[in-house]
């Protein structure tokens, strides 16, 4: 395991500092970084890794972690930079592509998220997060039928997965299939009674139905056999 960690740090790189760090120094830097991250102190979590980054500026592992920490800190340009450096170190890495999606999603750069998702699917056709984020990206670009196809593909493997069930319902909503979407949201609440997305959209759909029902009832009350159009019959005719 020790050799694996060091090899990942040095993946396709040569240390640029005069003295490379020891295994113990690298381990302690990561441990401090994890402690700071756990407490929400992302600035110090990043700072703790700087000695490692300076020794291995093109290392895979350190850039992958910095990409994550900068994302948590809301510094999306820096996050994107480090995820890309991780990919330069190991171009076949799926986890680095998934990481790179995060700052792009945070900035609503959906076409780029879509492209990265297809890149993952070429390697791993049923990758869970690759497909989930592809569905989200497609839906945000109003490509609802394409998103639906992705959701149905994944639900054949994970029939009770609430993430893909919600995505399917949202895609159906985009296609105007409200009743079908409502049924799926209701089923999600059976599987996950506190599911925030299902509760929110089911509430909206129920409210719309109630408003429509009240409006129809009001319209019917203003119409009588003698006054089928609902017009004001008190007005005198010419």
- Does residue 179 carry a pLDDT above 90? yes
Query: CATH number, domain at 39?
Result: 1.25.40.10
**Phi/psi of residue 22, each to 5°?**
-80, 165
Model confidence at 2, in pLDDT bands (50, 70, 90)?
low
- Residue 126 within a domain: no
Question: What pLDDT, in 10s, does the model give residues 210-220?
Answer: 666 556 555 55
List the domain range (segments joined by +) for residue 60: 8-103
In a domain, 64, yes or no: yes
110: nearest Cα among 149, 151, 147, 59: 147
**Bigger pLDDT: 7 or 63?**
63
Tell me whether residue 18 is in a domain: yes
Residue 208: the pLDDT is 78
Residue 149 within a domain: no
**Residue 234 pLDDT greater than 50, yes or no:** no
Nearest to 85 by CA among 46, 53, 45, 42: 53
In-domain check, residue 98: yes
- The model's pLDDT over 18-45, given as tens digits with 9 standing for 90+, comes to 458 999 999 999 999 999 999 999 999 9
Q: Whole-angstrom Cα distance, residue 74 to residue 77?
A: 9
If one counts the domains in the chain, the total is 1
For the chain, give the number of residues. 238
Is pLDDT of 118 > 60?
Answer: yes
Which among 157, 154, 158 has a CA at the least distance from the CA of 171?
154
pLDDT score at 13: 47
Question: Which residues, at least 6 apart from 201, have a Cβ–Cβ distance to it below 8 Å?
Answer: 169, 170, 173, 181, 185
Cα 12 to its chain centre, rounded Å, is: 30
Q: 116 pLDDT exceeds 90? A: yes
Q: Is residue 217 part of a domain?
A: no
Q: Is the pLDDT of residue 180 over 70?
A: yes
Amino acid 223: pLDDT: 53
**pLDDT tens column, 152-161:** 999 999 999 9
Query: Tokens 């441990």 label which residue?
Result: 31
pLDDT tens digits for 69-110? 999 999 999 999 999 999 999 999 999 999 999 999 999 999
Note whether residue 205 is domain-resident: no
- Give residues with Cβ within 8 angstroms of 157, minimum separation 6: 126
């Amino acid at each position: 395991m020790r050799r694996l960690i060091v090899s990942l740090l040095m993946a396709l790189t040569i240390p640029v500092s005069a003295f490379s760090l020891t295994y113990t120094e690298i381990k302690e830097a990561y441990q401090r970084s994890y402690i700071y991250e756990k407490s929400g102190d992302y600035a110090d979590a990043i700072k703790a890794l700087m000695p490692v980054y300076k020794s291995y500026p093109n290392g895979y592992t350190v850039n992958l972690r910095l990409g994550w920490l900068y994302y948590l800190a809301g510094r999306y340009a820096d996050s994107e930079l480090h995820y890309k450096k991780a990919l330069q170190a190991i171009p076949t890495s799926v986890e680095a592509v998934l990481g790179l999606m995060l700052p792009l999603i945070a900035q609503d750069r959906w076409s780029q998220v879509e492209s990265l998702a297809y890149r993952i699917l070429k390697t791993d056709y049923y990758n869970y997060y690759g497909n989930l984020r592809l569905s989200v990206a497609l839906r945000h670009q109003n490509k609802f039928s394409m998103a639906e196809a992705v959701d149905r593909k994944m639900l054949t493997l994970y029939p009770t997965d609430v993430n893909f069930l919600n995505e399917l319902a949202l895609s159906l909503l985009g296609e105007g299939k409200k009743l079908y979407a409502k049924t799926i949201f209701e089923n999600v609440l059976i599987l996950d009674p506190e599911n925030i997305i299902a509760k929110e959209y089911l509430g909206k759909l129920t409210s719309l139905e109630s408003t429509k029902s009240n409006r129809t009832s009001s319209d019917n009350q203003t119409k009588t056999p003698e006054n089928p159009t609902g017009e004001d019959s008190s007005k005198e005719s010419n």
